[in-house]
Amino acid sequence: MKLTRLTDPDKIDFTRELNGDVWKGHLSVPDYQFRDRLLAKSPMCQDMRIYVVTESEDINSTDDIMSSVEIIIRDGYKYNSKDGKVEKTLVKNGCIGGVFTNPKFRGKGIAKFMIDELNKICDEEDLEFVILYSEVGDYYSRCGYESFHVPIRTRYIDDYEAKIFNGSEKYSVDGFDVELIDYQGFKEVMDLHNEEEDKRIMAMNDGKSRVVFAPSEEVVNWFHLRIKYFCYNLVSSPEALKTKAFDDIIEEFTSYEPKKLGIKVSKNGELLGYVIWTFELKMEEEPIFSCKILHMFSKGSSKTRSGSDFTIKKLLSDLTIDYMKYSKKHFKVASVSVWTSDVDEAFGGEVQENSSLSAIRFKNEKSIWENNNKLPWF
């Protein structure tokens, strides 16, 4: 048995044919394969790799693949306290996804072999930490990962009476200026986030080391490309996209719903907070969308996670659910969920266990994982 990196797109398609039943949603296998080829062209996936476990060198069909896994290697930071000062270093980190064993080979330790081998590659390449989101409980602890349970809060649209949103792109509420954010329009808010988080972490000069994945608008754009593709497939055949360049597809998607994917709040011209969402789609008699908040942030969170930013986060929560109620003109949204690492009591709603556990493995000594939220996920 050996772990090999696949680079041939046709062979990579075998892995999607195998795992399609678990992850393709309402897409056909070819449309799912095309979606993943498209997502792989995103700037976020510049260093994305697919590895497989096989018995022999020859990979001619799905049967030749025992297990497969994807990893995206990206930038992050490590904050170390030294001589009473915090030092920040750029570090590489990985995010693992798509762990899958061909049903014919399950229960033989092949996934464990695959992750153990991948761990060795990550260490050799000096990745400071690797994260993943487990859908199989604490399974990855056997490969050196420590799991975290981050509960989720959910508010249901039906229970909510729309009251604020009036259909305009910009409006005012309680003295705050509110603006909807368009697809691909997230650079300004992610820059605010990175600047504020850097200040917050630098200020925690307590002798402990911390790591953080550095998200950018490219990460947000990746999530949005994924939901745009799903939605495009509800109304058009993706065949028409297959001959187009990546940038032309991005451009074409601007005219399809969902067009608004976030809200920002300012006062006297100062950006104070934002919410960014995506959707998950379930096909029933009609498509039902659940709004998943990718990130909610307010400037006050640099002081405390539950104090001065409470007002802005509560406002952002209400604005989001209000907009979702209004969106039923275009598509039916059932609920809005958020990770409690972004917002807790201010969001309201029901607290539920997160069916995915976040997990992390460090190459060197353990550090505190800051911003364990939905953004690093893929």
Nearer to ligand COA (CB atom), residue 77 or residue 369: 369
Q: How far apart are CA 186 and CA 328, in angstroms?
A: 24
State in angstroms the smallest separation of the CB of 131 from ligand COA: 12
Nearer to ligand COA (CB atom), residue 67 or residue 358: 67
State in angstroms the smallest separation of the CB of 137 from ligand COA: 4
Indicate the DSSP class of residue 145.
Answer: P
Contacts of 237-241 with CB under 8 Å at 24 or more apart are 238/31, 238/34, 238/35, 241/34, 241/38
- Residue 67, classed as helix, strand or coil, is strand
- What residues make contact with ligand COA under the rule CB under 6 A? 22, 67, 99-101, 106-112, 134-137, 139
State in angstroms the smallest separation of the CB of 97 from ligand COA: 8
Size of the chain in residues: 378
Q: How far apart are CA 249 and CA 236, in angstroms?
A: 13
320 and 277 in contact (C-beta within 8 Å)?
yes
361 and 145 in contact (C-beta within 8 Å)?
yes
345 and 145 in contact (C-beta within 8 Å)?
no
Q: How far apart are CA 17 and CA 13, in angstroms?
A: 6
Nearer to ligand COA (CB atom), residue 79 or residue 100: 100
The residue with tokens 């994305």 is 48
Helix (H) or strand (E) holding 318, with range, is: helix 310-326
Nearer to ligand COA (CB atom), residue 106 or residue 242: 106
State in angstroms the smallest separation of the CB of 328 from ligand COA: 33
State in angstroms the smallest separation of the CB of 304 from ligand COA: 33
Q: How many helices (H) and strands (E) does the chain have?
A: 7, 17
State in angstroms the smallest separation of the CB of 100 from ligand COA: 4
262 and 313 in contact (C-beta within 8 Å)?
no
State in angstroms the smallest separation of the CB of 36 from ligand COA: 15
Nearer to ligand COA (CB atom), residue 111 or residue 316: 111
Nearer to ligand COA (CB atom), residue 122 or residue 181: 122
Nearer to ligand COA (CB atom), residue 86 or residue 132: 132
The residue with tokens 């209004």 is 326
